[in-house]
A and B are shown apart, each in its own frame.
Chain A
Amino acid sequence: AQSVSQHNHHVILSEAASLELGCNYSYGGTVNLFWYVQYPGQHLQLLLKYFSGDPLVKGIKGFEAEFIKSKFSFNLRKPSVQWSDTAEYFCAVNPGNTPLVFGKGTRLSVIA
């Protein structure tokens, strides 16, 4: 069965620090990869996605992620976090139009 691993349960950063959240998946075939964000009290929103092409994808709010096929990884990055980035981040994978398989999430707390 497919699985998604997010290495960090809770990350605490100061404003302006750089962010990298790890994500590894187990599926060996062609997959679609996603990062979703859930701000406090809000519903899940798509941050960015990778279907094919350039393995470095850019999303909203300055986030980017790099798909490394050989490592089965899709890590999320942001060069300089802001307090407003405090949220929970979920990596997800699906091969085509199938239910998403999510990681357990990483809670990011950004402190001033």
Chain B
Amino acid sequence: GAGVSQSPSNKVTEKGKDVELRCDPISGHTALYWYRQSLGQGLEFLIYFQGNSAPDKSGLPSDRFSAERTGGSVSTLTIQRTQQEDSAVYLCASYGGGDTQYFGPGTRLTVL
């Protein structure tokens, strides 16, 4: 597609449930990033994939968070045993060597 797409656009879940968020980057982009946007915290880096290298997980807030990228393209961010503080907008961005990262529309996660 022309841009980064994310699904679902909105997700409401109950505390303790697992959720999966999907990102489809721009075709051919080798780098993929996950960020989290929450009230009062701004945008925080979570995890970064570059080609076939091991991902940079330094931004993941806890071991309940994990992500994978299959075939160097689609990525899934998984949050296990969700907590209310996980409520946020989760943004994916891809980078292909140009000027900047391109962001998707985000997934708004609400944990009740």
A residues whose Cβ falls under 8 Å from a Cβ of B:
34, 36, 42-46, 49, 51, 90, 92, 97-105
Total A-B pairs in contact (CB under 8 Å)? 47
Among A34, A98, A101, the most chain B Cβ lie within 10 Å of the Cβ of A98
- Bound form: Cα–Cα A34–B100 in Å: 9
24 A-B pairs (CB sep. < 8 Å): A36-B103, A43-B106, A44-B91, A44-B103, A45-B103, A46-B99, A46-B100, A49-B100, A51-B99, A90-B42, A90-B43, A92-B43, A97-B31, A97-B95, A97-B97, A99-B48, A99-B56, A99-B59, A100-B101, A102-B43, A102-B44, A104-B42, A105-B42, A105-B43
Structural contact, A43 and B42, CB atoms closer than 8 A: no
Structural contact, A49 and B99, CB atoms closer than 8 A: yes
**Closest B residue, CB atoms, query A43:** B105
Q: Across the A-B interface, give the 5 residue pairs with the lowest CB-CB distance, nearest first.
A: A104-B42, A102-B43, A99-B45, A44-B103, A43-B105
- Bound form: Cα–Cα A51–B99 in Å: 9
Question: B31 to chain A: which residues have CB within 8 Å?
Answer: 97
Question: B41 to chain A: which residues have CB within 8 Å?
Answer: 104
- Bound form: Cα–Cα A45–B93 in Å: 11
B25 on the interface (CB 8 Å rule)? no
Q: Shortest CB–CB separation between residue A37 and chain B, in angstroms?
A: 11
Question: A102 to chain B: which residues have CB within 8 Å?
Answer: 35, 42-44
Question: A43 to chain B: which residues have CB within 8 Å?
Answer: 91, 103-106
Interface string of B87-112 (1 = CB under 8 A from A): 00001010101011101111000000
Within 8 A of A (CB), among B17-50: 31, 33, 35, 40-45, 48, 50
Q: Shortest CB–CB separation between residue A89 and chain B, in angstroms?
A: 11
